[in-house]
Structure 1
Amino acid sequence: MEVTVALPEYGILVPKLESAGATVIVGEVCKIERTMLSVPGLFRIALSLVRAVFFLSKAQRKSSFNLVYSNTVAVFGGALCARLWRVPHIWHVREIFSGSKAITLGFRHLVAKLSSTVVCNSTHTRDWIYVTGDVEKYLVIWNGYDAPKVNVDRHAERVSLGASGHDVLFVLVGRINAWKGQQLLVEAFAKLVVGTDCRARLAIVGSAPVGQEQYERDLEACISKANCSDKVILIPYHPDIEHVWIAADVVVVPSTNPEPFGRVAIEAMGFGRPVIAAAHGGLVEIVVDGETGCLVTPCDVSALAAAMFRMMSDTDLRLRMGAAGRARQTALFSLEGYATQLN
């Protein structure tokens, strides 16, 4: 089997794909950005689509593709080319777009029209993208993950995140933006630690997208206003994220908008960490409330603080939930299971 991967730009994936035996081509693939989701943006999309057809058709003449797989709903070039070439097209939908209802409806119809099969990373994502037609071609396949074996000093990793041996370390990992819930978590955490002697620390790991650094400044202001700067640490993008999971006691995913899936949760579970998550989106398919962690009312500071207090106060509960989470992750969210379903 020969595999050609078309990417919009060079990056860290290129050598990894090439080492796996794929041919990598870089050029226009009609990648849709949020700034293009407007009426004026439709003209940019049309121009990008024309360029993508020329670029991909040139590659098709060399390799004669038998199937096209689009790994995100944000790329349209492969979908249109598959229709022009009359070959099957699999569209893997991993995200949910918010904004104009008319544009969202247009996305749904295009995906329905230009796909032989639609793979969705959660039931929530499927319910968002499905609009009409054959519901059986919309498949739900959860993402897979296998926790690697990492030999590091847990105590040293905890110290690097601001926690001592007796502290309960809460961790949030994710891009700093308007909906991942960092400020909500700070407010909940402040309810636990301000004016109390409880031994808890909070590490927020991640960076804002380029051009959106204001979210980082807003988060810093929120921490200062909450009077908990001495117990909260901000860590930029961390390339060795497994070290963070090893250091953590509890992982929190308080997204204020529904997550299409919630990969952070399955990674944390793979390392035996209990997860507190907002009860919406794909997270409700991952976290079993009261068994592998806690599901809390989205955007509810008090509910989040109560769940954190429960976790902080009961070491045995954290260990039981962590073990149950690891078992669930291994059984339902493994790479082997993911690959088997895709095949």
Structure 2
Amino acid sequence: MRRSRRTILVAHPGSELYGSDRVLLESVTGLLDHGWDVLVAVPADGPLVAELRRRGARVELCVTPVLRKSVLRPRGFARFAATTARGIIAGAALLRRERPAAVYVNTVTIPLWIGLARLAGVPVVAHVHEGEATASRLVKRILSAPLLLAQGVIANSRFSVGVLESAFASLGRRTQIVYNAVPGPESRNPARTELDGDLRVTYVGRLSPRKGVDVAIDAIAELEARGVPARLDLVGAVFPGYEWYERDLRDKVEAKRLQSRVSFRGFQSSVWDYLSKGDVVLVPSVADEPFGNTAVEGILSGRPVIASATSGLLEATDGYHTAVTVEPGDVASLADALERTIADWDTAAALLEEDVEHAQRKHSPESYRQRIAEIVGGVARRS
């Protein structure tokens, strides 16, 4: 049976519950709230699937080639090519069956969906969550070229738009900025009035070289050398294939004798308990970040944030009294900022509530859902 054209097909590259996954949940909720039948296509099962179904979306596992750096290696390219062949067959069949009013492609890492949708005569909205300003112009053009086929393009920051514009000026002109929805905790535990004992530091996110997790560990070691006691909670896990990086991190902790100072908490579906138990949140990325959801989550939890002064993190932390930025990869600067957090605690504590309210207004899920539904629905209706 063919469905009516009240269906929006949403394509997403994963099934976890990290930053872009959580933003996807808000996009899907916005479409559902506006009366659309939403089918989400993901390549594998995972915690995201159950959450999507709980909100009322349909979910289908569909083979999808995802652009990752592993594609540059011979074995990785062979896998990518094989997955692409299977993805063409599966994706085309899904489009024929569903006959959606539009396809919403969440990230530039799954360009096949843009091509399949256009070949099927279905309009496309592409949502850009990536931004690599340091990539060569050729690489940026290759990654951005499929977006030229989309009827609508959304980006999560001015930084991301700038990266698109450096590839194709026309993309910069027609891309709409919608800042990420970042829901806060249902209830907030107030920050400690006095920092007695260890400084409690929290990192939330992927355990990845580009995220600077090793820099965070080195900063804790530097504080230890200065006689400043601190503990670090690492809340997150590695991408499949990056297990070597977690082993390196654990080796570093052991070599620096920080076993009692650094804890690996693994992936957590809800991070608020860990954020509320901490005093300060670190976002120590050493590579470009298109935005910085975890920085906003730190602010929403009512905690000071220390982030790298780079790319979209500067945008994510702009305008908050209790968010500071440091040179990416600079261990001493990060340790200095942590020490200043202790010295300036009384001043920061008085400004935390104001920052929380600012973040709630700027990243309201309700406003975000409305905007996404307007853009996607507008493209679908115009078709």
TM over 0.5: yes
Partner of 2:297: 267
Alpha-carbon distance in 1 for matches of 2:70, 2:362: 36
- For residues 336 and 50 of structure 1, the distance between their equivalents in structure 2, rounded to whole angstroms, comes to 39
**Letter of the 1:201 counterpart:** R
How do 1:1-343 and structure 2 match up within 5 A? 1-37=36-72, 45=80, 47-96=82-131, 102-111=138-147, 113-130=148-165, 131-132=167-168, 133-150=170-187, 166-196=197-227, 198-288=228-318, 291-342=321-372, 343=374
Question: How far 1:100 moved relative to its partner?
Answer: 6.9
Aligned letter for 1:149?
E
Q: Which moved more, 1:249-258 or 1:40-49?
A: 40-49
Distance 2:310 2:224 in 1: 27
* TM-score relative to the length of structure 1: 0.86
SS at match of 2:122: coil
Supply the distance in 2 between the matched residues of 1:256 and 1:35 (Cα, whole angstroms). 20
Deviation for aligned residue 1:255:
0.6
- AA aligned to 2:221 is A
Matched residue type, 2:231: R
Q: 1:335 to 1:256 in 2, by over 3 A?
A: same
1:332 and 1:153 map into 2 onto residues whose CA distance is: 21
Aligned 8 A contact 1:7 1:27 in 2: yes
Residue identity in the other structure for 2:71: M
CA spacing shift, 1:16–1:199, aligned 2, 3 Å: closer
Contact 1:116 1:137 in 2 (8 A): no
Change (3 A) 1:187 1:59: closer
Structure 2: segments with no counterpart, 5+ residues: 1-35, 375-383
Moved more, 242-251 or 292-301: 292-301
- The question of whether the paired residues in 1 share the 8 Å contact of 2:220 and 2:232 is answered with yes
Moved more, 208-217 or 323-332: 208-217
Quote the Cα distance in structure 2 between the aligned partners of 1:115 and 1:337: 24
Deviations 1:240-260 (A, max 9, x none): 311001101100111111212
State the alpha-carbon separation in 2 of the partners of residues 29 and 61 from structure 1: 16
In 1, Cα distance between equivalents of 2:190 and 2:314: 32
Deviation for aligned residue 1:194:
2.0
Q: Which residue of 2 aligns with 1:161?
A: none
Alpha carbons of structure 1 residues 203 and 318: separation in structure 2 relative to 1, 3 Å: farther
Q: Would the aligned equivalents of 2:188 and 2:302 in 1 still touch at CA under 8 Å? A: no
Task: Report the alpha carbon displacement of residue 308 of structure 1 after superposing the two structures with TM.
Answer: 0.8
- Identify which of structures 1 and 2 has the higher relative contact order when contacts are C-alpha pairs closer than 8 Å and 6+ apart: 2
Give the distance between the partners of 1:44 and 1:232, measured in 2 at CA: 37
The separation in 2 between residues aligned to 1:124 and 1:39, in whole angstroms, is 32
Quick one: structure 1 residues 230 and 273, their matched pair in 2 at CA, closer, same or farther if it must change by over 3 Å? same
**Alignment CA distance shift 1:40-1:187 (3 Å):** closer
Aligned residues: 333
Compute the RMSD of aligned alpha carbons. Answer: 2.8
**Pairwise CA distance, 1:16:** 2.9
Distance 1:135 1:180, change over 3 A: closer
The residue that corresponds to 2:11 in the other structure is none
CA drift of 1:86 comes to 2.4
2:269 is aligned with what amino acid?
A: P
**Deviation at residue 199 of structure 1 after TM alignment:** 4.1
Compute the displacement of 1:25 (Å): 2.0
Alpha-carbon distance between aligned partners in 2 of 1:47 and 1:247, rounded to the nearest angstrom: 46
Going from structure 1 to structure 2, the CA distance change for 1:187 and 1:41 (only over 3 Å counts) comes to closer
CA distance 1:38–1:190, shift in 2 (3 Å): closer
Q: Aligned-pair distance for 1:273?
A: 0.9
Q: In structure 2, how many angstroms separate the alpha carbons of the residues matched to 1:290 and 1:15?
A: 35
Identity, in percent, stands at 29
SS at match of 2:233: strand
Rounded to whole Å, the distance in 2 between the matches of 1:194 and 1:145 is 36
Deviation at 1:292, TM superposition (A): 2.6
Deviations 1:44-77 (A, max 9, x none): 5555444333323322333221111001211123
Between the aligned partners of 2:77 and 2:258, the Cα distance in structure 1 is 45
Q: State the shift of 1:36 in Å.
A: 1.5
Unaligned runs of 5+ in 1: 156-163
Residues 1:289 and 1:184: Cα distance change in structure 2 (over 3 Å): farther
Provide the rounded CA distance (Å) in 2 between the counterparts of 1:109 and 1:40. 25
